[in-house]
Chains A and B, each alone.
Chain A
């Protein structure tokens, strides 16, 4: 029988603390993983009515309804891979919850649509900074064969130094122009038309 000789400073109390700490640590990690999983689901995100508005066009998109059945859920695209990164994203995402409670009434479809462009811009920026990492969870550039013969060549040659989001945006949610050409006035007029509001009503709603 091998006798393990403990260092002297490992007293019984220390041993107990280590075991308890270890279990708690594992528990915490499991909790984080589960928490990240749970908070990445469509069901969780659409708990807020405002997110339901965003989800509507998503449910019509190829990311919800692909021929292959590989469905991307909210977190698959909008939450980073890895427990720490995912937790961090959720922590930062907490500001959305704060705004949902204390900010404008995003549950109102008009308000949601009026604020949507800024949300889209920051989401695009997020993707860009991460080199479209979450897209690459499923999509491999070299494996994009498309339905036309030149799709492979385009991705090999012309899109060589680009990440997905630089070309592919406006795929899932309602269409928003690129920030560089976005015109707030035109957007407001469109929202007014869509919801049958008087001209100028959108600007007033935004000032609130």
Chain B
């Protein structure tokens, strides 16, 4: 009995303390810097400007028209380095660093730094660690890690003994960059230097430079959604330059990526932990709902809900491999609630819930009808040694990769943000075509009729969703059958 009570008490705490905790944080979009202005405006830094106005007028001009310049923050305030810093260089008499890391920005923008440092975004590099050997070493080449993967996921910036930054790792503004000072992330991933404009970061293009293409097709999805349509038509009404940017208060013409994924709404605090409100993982062969584990030191990780949900005070591994003590767990339900609260600024509860239901249905359809059967067949083929352990040395492996990674991801992201085109034509329509037209025939070709039939019977034909395959005489005129005949039922 006592145990039950404790569990209840704990649940209540989770349900109520979490929003309180969120609400306690200032609701405006970006925290006003609370440091006194005596903390910046290094006199030595004024000398940089005179020369850089001439030597690199473009970046100087960007800075001159920035909020930093009007507040008196100069070059050296951000680029200042200590002699002992790994990447410190001597530059015209000053000791500086080229890279301004999130830790440097965090001197003034403390809250934003802590949120991004803890976020899953900042671990974007370690998240793809296992994929790099297959995609870069085998499929393409190491050059692609620098020019492709790391551009979004971030590089581990290498400072060479002669003080230069290795061109294999720099320039780079990937959001999971590992900086010479050990901090993770890159503010300039979203906030283009040297203007660091609010308006620019609030524009969907700030996200689109990475969130486009098959793995994260969100640019196309947003552009072809109702939200994107409204944004494009009402851009000038978006109040993008406003100091505070609370939905329903400072703007209402359209939502952007920021609005739903990190923006402030009455009752919902803004956060630079951009993935915080995502209930699903949409980038795996099979989607799972996921809890957000918040560690005592502010670090965070996702945990699929198929795994037992750990309790506050427990220790589990962090994304960097070390162990961390859990401070709070936000369930997928809780995360969905926060996201839905944003919807309510413009939509009714029924509308928002209805949409979420449609979204969940697509993900579950993908999972059950295609994701799970395809994965089960692939695993069986590996077990039966019909496929080698090496990825991508059989055409079937490309077909499977495309099925969940390209087409399946487009369908799921499309449903998450209401792009009918991505959900259907670019997504599930291709998933179906691939599954029936390429994947299954290739399985038959690889495994031979007998073994393939066994696998397909077990994992595909046993499911109601695929029962139409057993009924080949049921006609449909879509491809011309029966056209001109009196009737086809």
Which residues of A line the B interface, CB within 8 A? 150-151, 153-154, 157-158, 162, 166-167, 174-178, 180-183, 186-191
* A residues less than 8 Å from B93 (CB atoms): 162, 166
Q: What is the size category of the interface that chain B forms with chain A?
A: 20 to 34
Q: Are A181 and B95 in contact (CB under 8 A)?
A: yes
Chain A residues, Cβ within 8 Å of B47: 158
Cβ-closest chain B residue relative to A157: B50
B164 touching A175, Cβ below 8 Å: yes
* Neighbour of A190 across the interface among B50, B53, B162, CB < 8 A: B162
| CB-contact partner of A177 in B50, B54, B55, B163, under 8 A | B163
Task: Tell me if B159 counts as interface (CB < 8 A to partner A).
Answer: yes
Structural contact, A181 and B57, CB atoms closer than 8 A = no
CA distance A190 to B93 in the complex (A): 25
B89 interface residue, CB < 8 Å from A?
yes
Q: Confirm or deny: B160 has a beta carbon within 8 angstroms of a beta carbon on chain A.
A: yes
Q: Are A177 and B95 in contact, with the CB atoms below 8 A?
A: no
Do residues B50 and A175 form an inter-chain contact, with CB atoms below 8 A? Answer: no
Q: Are B95 and A154 in contact (CB under 8 A)?
A: no
* Complex contact A186–B92 (CB within 8 A): no
CB distance from A148 to the nearest CB of B (A): 8
Please name the residue on chain A nearest to B93 by beta carbon.
A166
For the complex of A and B, the 8 pairs showing the least CB-CB separation, nearest first, are A190-B161, A178-B90, A150-B54, A177-B163, A158-B51, A187-B161, A175-B162, A186-B161
List the B side residues contacting A180 at CB < 8 Å.
Answer: 83, 90, 95
Known: A158-B51, A180-B90, A181-B88. A175 touches B57 (CB 8 A): no
Across the two chains, which residue of chain B brings its CB closest to A170?
B162
Q: How far is the CA of A186 from the CA of B164 in the complex (A)?
A: 11
Pairs across A and B, CB under 8 Å, 28 listed: A150-B54, A151-B54, A154-B51, A154-B54, A154-B55, A157-B50, A166-B92, A167-B92, A175-B163, A175-B164, A176-B162, A177-B89, A177-B162, A178-B89, A178-B90, A180-B90, A180-B95, A181-B81, A181-B88, A181-B90, A181-B95, A182-B163, A183-B161, A186-B160, A187-B161, A187-B162, A189-B161, A190-B160
* B residues with CB within 8 A of A: 47, 50-51, 53-55, 57, 81, 83, 86, 88-90, 92-93, 95, 159-164
A153 CB to closest chain B CB, in angstroms? Answer: 5
Residues of A contacting B53 with CB < 8 Å? Answer: 150
- Expressed in whole angstroms, the Cα–Cα distance for A189 and B86 within the complex equals 13
Query: For A177, what are the chain B residues with a Cβ–Cβ distance below 8 Å?
Result: 89-90, 162-163
- Complex: how many Å from CA A100 to CA B86? 33
B50: shortest Cβ distance to chain A, in Å? 6
- Assess whether A153 is in contact with B161, with CB atoms less than 8 Å apart: no
Kindly list chain A residues whose C-beta atoms are within 8 Å of the C-beta of B88.
Answer: 181
- Shortest C-beta distance, B74 to chain A (Å), equals 15
A182 to B159, CA, bound (A): 12
Contact of A188 among B90, B159, B161 (CB under 8 A): B161
CB distance from A171 to the nearest CB of B (A): 14
User: Looking across the interface, which residue of chain B has its beta carbon closest to that of A158?
Assistant: B51
Min CB distance, B431 to chain A, in Å? 47
